[in-house]
Amino acid sequence: MTNGSNKGAAAGGGAIYGLGVLGAWVYFWIQADGFWQHLFAIVQGLLWPAWMVYDLLVVLHRATAVTTLLVAHLG
């Protein structure tokens, strides 16, 4: 009976992602100015998680580099 026990969790995750996409579309659409920017806003709305993860990894990399420099300087 464990075969279908995670269907509710998967549906909940899909709903949250869908709401995130709709919110991103509204956000990027409002900021767009012109045809091509509106077209790009649709793409951004679909790919916003990739940009968010990329930006998070950049921030973590910078924080790690600063921490490494501080430890090397103090140690």
**What number of residues does the chain have?**
75
Q: Rounded to an integer, what is the distance from CA 68 to the centroid of its chain?
A: 27
Condensed to tens digits (0 to 9), the pLDDT of residues 18-70 reads 888 899 999 999 999 999 999 999 999 999 888 888 999 999 988 888 777 77
Condensed to tens digits (0 to 9), the pLDDT of residues 55-66 reads 999 999 888 887
DSSP state of 44: H
- Determine the residue type at 32: A
Measured CA to CA, the distance from residue 2 to residue 58 in angstroms comes to: 39
Measured CA to CA, the distance from residue 18 to residue 51 in angstroms comes to: 16
- The C-alpha torsion from 50 through 51 and 52 to 54, rounded to 10°, is 90
